[in-house]
Amino acid sequence: MSKNKSSESVKVVVRCRPLSRKEESSGPAGGIVQMDLRLGQVILRNPRAPPSEPQKTFTFDAVYDANSKQRELYDESVRPLIDSVLAGFNGTIFAYGQTGTGKTYTMQGAWLDPEKRGVIPNAFDHVFTHISRSQSDKQYLVRASYLEIYLEEIRDLLDPNHTNARGLELRENPDTGVYVQDLTSCVCKSIKEIEEVMNVGNQARAVGATDMNEHSSRSHALFLITVECSQPGPDGRKHIRVGRLNLVDLAGSERQAKTGVQGERLKEAAKINLSLSALGNVISALADGRSGHVPYRDSKLTRLLQDSLGGNAKTVMVATLGPAPQHYDETLTTLRYANRAKNIQNQPRVNEDPKDALLREFQREIARLRAQLNYRKWRSKQKNEQMEGESWDGDREKETEGEEDEEVEKEAEEYVKLEEQRLEREKEAIRGDEYMVAEEKQRLLGEKERMMVDLRKEQEATEQLTAKYKAMESKLLVGGKNIIDHTNEQQKMLEMKRQEIAEQTRNEREIQQQMLAQDEETLELRETFTSLQQEVEAKTKKLKKLYTKLQCIKAEIKDVNDEHVKSRQELEQTQNELTRELKFKYLIIENFIPPEEKNKIMNRLIFDPEEDQWKFQPLVPAERSMKKRPASAVGYKRPLSQYARVAIAMGGHSRYRVSVAVKWDYSGLATSSPGCPNLMVYLSFSQLDNRNNL
């Protein structure tokens, strides 16, 4: 891995959706959010405050109002991140906001409408277009995975039985960071294939209806794209760079009074709010910079985003807002979280030659299969030329790989046909030989039949090897090949112009923000007064401005305190509910479970630090298998003892051999008990000298 220690802050952009028909008809006229696209500012008005109260202003990297287009957001804010992923960095894009504010629309959009395609489909197009335009000496491997966090359980959306399967577990690797164990990964060779993977996962994702959103996401979804690139380096060796792109669609925060959810939907909302609260705590701890502990382990969502927030990744956060007056509190909370996230510093670095690169394994397997095919080709050529009486020329020029593969197939087919014809001619010659004995004819014909069978087996093995080689090679994408529809030069120029415009817009916004900050600092130094009255007016104006700032800070402190009190009350309510449930379970344990059974259960409990929860030990440890009944020895009716095994190992000396003969005698039935035969046992010894010693 590269040792680049440069850090960069999380990029935060804000998007506001338009008012819905329901909001326009039910609430007061007008929205509470104003956007200054030129300066990247969001101005929030409190609908419950008097007109004299100053409005709240937040500044971000970019802002997009209700009239913004999907393509504008992607070109200005997301495209540079995708370029970094293709260069070998880790990247994360996640949408954060209240339910029903357009997170899923921003991330996915309308797939069939080119103007309304979201971040994810545009990222697919970007990745595969870049591969098709890259140099031919580069090889790519693209993999995709899709998961969701539902009720704090990680589910694989690409697994057909994910609803019945147990939740996947999180693991941590010192080199690659946090990962999901046994997560399905699909190799994708085109936009169509990766879109199919996305559609399969979307059909399995948990979605439900609430009063605020008919298609509300009931889980956090994460679509992971891994792009591996192999390219020759200055030293002549092939070096691999791996970029990982996390596309996160978070479920929205909810309040039961507004969403009207009950039953299972209420449980889902509680888990969603809990994980989003943990995400907010992580953002606050990282933005503060003074906290030594960052609570990543409070939820699975924060564990998965551990590298994206303060780690090895470049991150873009899209905060979505609702402009309706009745959602003022949620909008203010979202803006505060987004404002804190700007202060998070990440340490991104290029992932060069990682140990878990799958592309290198594919290249080794392809090289091995190619060597086997070349050997078969050489052997078939040698046999063919020997049959025709020609000498094999080993100094022929090397053809291209594609022509080689086609020649291997053609020559293999021709060789099989010629061999079959030759064997048929020899069989006819044997049958037509009148001077040969019949037995000799049968033997020779049998040999020819066996040769035909061996020939067919060799042909089948070659076909299987060729098919396996082609399947492995087809998974790799080579730069310069048309893996998507042909893009003409005008479209390429149009894309380049669009990128230049987006870059220019970003630079203008940054310069204007810097100029605004510098003007406020240097205004007092540049001011000169011609009279005392003019100085008094200027000082009064400045005093009013400072007083306005003071009022804003006081209002901000009051809002933060109110929010803290509200959060504390919610936590206390949750604590009371959990305490009541815990007491109820303790009551059941004390009155209905015997003490010895309770002790057994307590002794089996262990704490798993990876999952941060208590688990039961298995009744039978995996390393200690239960004792099995000894199996009977081969040829014996019962198991052999250790003494018998030792005796067998020492050999069969005649001194220790004894034969037991059991004979049933029915001759004395009259004097014996009825139905009971006389049992006569005869012992015969091989050595006659031992008879007197018995």
Residue numbering of the annotated binding site for ATP: 97-104
Strand partners, 36: 41
Q: Using CA atoms, how far apart are residues 340 and 12, in angstroms rounded to an integer?
A: 10
Question: What six digits make up the tokens of 418?
Answer: 């010629």
Contact between 315 and 11 (Cβ < 8 Å): yes
Residues of the binding site: 97-104
Q: Which two tokens stand for residue 650?
A: 């020492």
Give the CA diameter of the chain: 153
Rounded-to-integer distance, Cα 641 and Cα 630, Å: 10
What residues contact residue 28 under an 8 Å CB cut-off, 6+ apart?
47, 325
CB 677 within 8 A of CB 669: yes
Q: In the block, which residue shows the tokens 């050999």?
A: 651
The whole-angstrom separation of Cα 286 and Cα 310 is 7
**Tokens 């009825």, located at residue:** 674
Query: Could you tell me which residues are beta bridge partners of residue 345?
Result: 9
- 323 Cβ neighbours under 8 A, 6+ residues apart: 16, 17, 18, 19, 31, 32, 33, 66, 331
DSSP per-residue letters across 58-99: EE-SEEE-TT--HHHHIIIIIHHHHHHHHTT-EEEEEEEEBT
Q: What is the helix, strand, coil percentage profile of the chain, to 5? A: 50, 20, 30
Q: Which two tokens stand for residue 175?
A: 């080199």
The phi-psi region of residue 402 (left if phi > 0; otherwise alpha if psi is between -120 and 50; otherwise beta) is: alpha
Q: If DSSP states are collapsed to H, E and C, what string results for 23-38?
A: HHHHCCCCCCEEEECC
Assess contact for 314 and 80: CB atoms under 8 A.
no
